[in-house]
Amino acid sequence: MTITENLALPVGTTLDRFIMRKQEDFPFATGELSQLLRDIALAAKIVNRAINHAGLTDIGGAYGKQNVQGEDQQKLDVVANIRFIRALRNGGEVCAIISEEDEEVIQTGNHKGKYIVAIDPLDGSSNIDVNVSIGTIFSVYRRLSDQGCEGTLEDCLQRGVQQVAAGYIIYGSSTMLVYTTGCGVNGFTYETSLGEFFLSHPNITIPTTGSIYSINEGSYNQFQPAIKQYVELCRERNYSARYIGSLVADFHRNMLKGGIYMYPSTTKAPNGKLRLLYEANALAFIVEQAGGKASNGSERIMELYPTDLHQRCPLYIGSTEMVEEVERLLASSEASVSSTISATAHN
């Protein structure tokens, strides 16, 4: 390709330009949400730089403390948490933040801020030291309380259907930011030399079915019979098992190629392991906007009522037909158990 031909190629649509254009579609929009999304993108660039230098600087490995979930924190967990909180606080649009890494609501001091952000600053952090894809997950809600005061617990404990935006950043072979504001899903790839996110995956839609299943089969013996049955069906159908232990990476692959991600309840974790507010709600909003489905096995994820900041739930998310098949198996299994209990009681 000649220099002239190369210069003639379009640079592409930047995230900032895309956000501005979308804002124009809503005549009553005043710009606060657009600014909030830019703040998240800025923090993502800073975290991306830290991740890329993890092998060269002393920010890899364990931090030496546990988070509120009882999980060992990595140094980059702490770095990412600080960076996103700082960016959102400085941006001024968020009155309160809830983070997977913090036990309580984080007040930003921006009492006039209209929004609440729930964030998992660094998902899959156990993969940091082995150079495997990791990510950030976030969701945005309008505050319920009056402006001019601190954000409240009620502001934070909202159902997923009340989200106004959600997204994730995946730090992998390339860094991507994928988000929705309820009008479809778009993905932006980070161009490091220009320091900009460019639209690379417009109007993402997930196939209605697929041939990929993502589940930690190491816990097979702890699964419910219906989940064991579904895993066996996947094996019989020669589906590809793909599980990396990083929710964002597994979810992103299935979004693009078609598949299902499952983290069911187990005998060890009867309520599941994933957090409703920091992980499940955001990804449920995204997958539904892309034409997929997210369920806890019997209910739509986004209809669940949170009662605790760190509430956990089972998650079945991905291609609609695959999620619905799991729901049918679980319902059939539950009906069979109920029938057996009823017959035993009558005898």
Binding site listing for substrate: 123-126, 216, 243, 273
How far apart, in whole angstroms, are the C-alpha atoms of residue 231 and residue 227?
A: 6
User: Which secondary-structure segment (H or E) carries 118?
Assistant: strand 115-123
How far apart, in whole angstroms, are the C-alpha atoms of residue 298 and residue 331?
A: 7
Q: Is the dihedral angle over the CA atoms 109, 110, 115, 119 positive or is it negative?
A: negative
**Neighbour order of strands in the sheet with 115-123:** 106-107, 94-99, 115-123, 134-142, 163-171, 175-180, 185-191, 196-201
Helix boundaries (H) for the chain: 3-8, 15-24, 32-52, 75-91, 153-156, 225-236, 247-257, 281-289, 320-346
Q: Which residues are annotated as a binding site?
A: 100, 120, 122-126, 216, 243, 273, 279
How far apart, in whole angstroms, are the C-alpha atoms of residue 230 and residue 126?
A: 28
Burial class (CB in 10 A: 0-12, 13-18, 19+), 194: exposed
Q: State the residue for tokens 């209605």.
A: 208
Q: Which residues are annotated as a binding site for Mg(2+)?
A: 100, 120, 122-123, 279
Kindly report the length of the chain: 347
234 close to 262: Cβ distance less than 8 angstroms: no
Which residues are 295's β-sheet partners?
300, 316
Q: DSSP 3-state assignment of 120?
A: strand
Spatial CA neighbour of 311 closest among 289, 296, 327, 331: 296
Residue 220 in tokens? 């097979």
